[in-house]
Structure 1
């Protein structure tokens, strides 16, 4: 490891926990156009990926993912405008915390025992 990694986790009362895993899932759905493909890329079952998407769709005022059922023509999934906004705001917040907290992160690292 070249340095500390920051993992942002937001817990809302809706209930919703938004963290790096859900953000990555949204990015992969956006790229793959499929909840199942995104889940497979992350090593999770379709059921788990779909459950996370449902949690997010229920929590936000507008759905973050729009999906269509499979079948002869195949299904698919796309991020909605709301989903793109959620992802953009989360990634911006990660960058902000990393940048604004750089001095504190370095100070904590300086207090660690040296690596053997």
Structure 2
């Protein structure tokens, strides 16, 4: 049995504008409504998550993530319309790319030897 792992990254200069980890972070922010909750769900530090959000926000013409001011009911974070579009397009791109290479990967996988036994 083989495993296919395709990682697509879109660069803006030397920065990774979007890639698998950042897409996962965007999805977690959309689900949890805050950067800190998304970071906890991903077992990531808040600082690391915030730095990734900053990179994404400056890499696109419009920010992907918007923070809401705190107050009586607390603040929060949400994806902007652009953030939702970027996440949707990125996921579609990855699915299409995987579909395009699936047959060749299966043929290549037939040539693989048995994987080594895992050490315990």
- The normalised TM-score by structure 2 is 0.85
CA RMSD of aligned residues (A): 1.9
Question: 2 CA distance for matches of 1:92 and 1:32?
Answer: 22
Unaligned runs of 5+ in 1: none
Report matched runs for 1:1-116 at 5 Å: 3-13=3-13, 15-70=15-70, 73-116=73-116
Which digits, 9 at most, give the CA deviation of each residue in 1:46-91, with x for residues without a partner? 1110110000001100000000244653220000000000000100
Query: Between Structure 1 and Structure 2, whose CA radius of gyration is higher?
Result: 2
Number of equivalenced pairs: 116
Contact 1:14 1:59 in 2 (8 A): no
Please report how far the alpha carbon of residue 111 of structure 1 lies from its aligned counterpart in structure 2 after TM superposition. Answer: 2.7
**Structure 1 pair 71/44, CA: closer, same or farther in 2 (3 Å)?**
farther
Question: 1 CA distance for matches of 2:17 and 2:31?
Answer: 23
Which aligned runs of 4 or more in structure 1 are off by greater than 3 angstroms?
A: 69-73
- Partner-residue secondary structure (3-state), 2:113: coil
- The normalised TM-score by structure 1 is 0.88
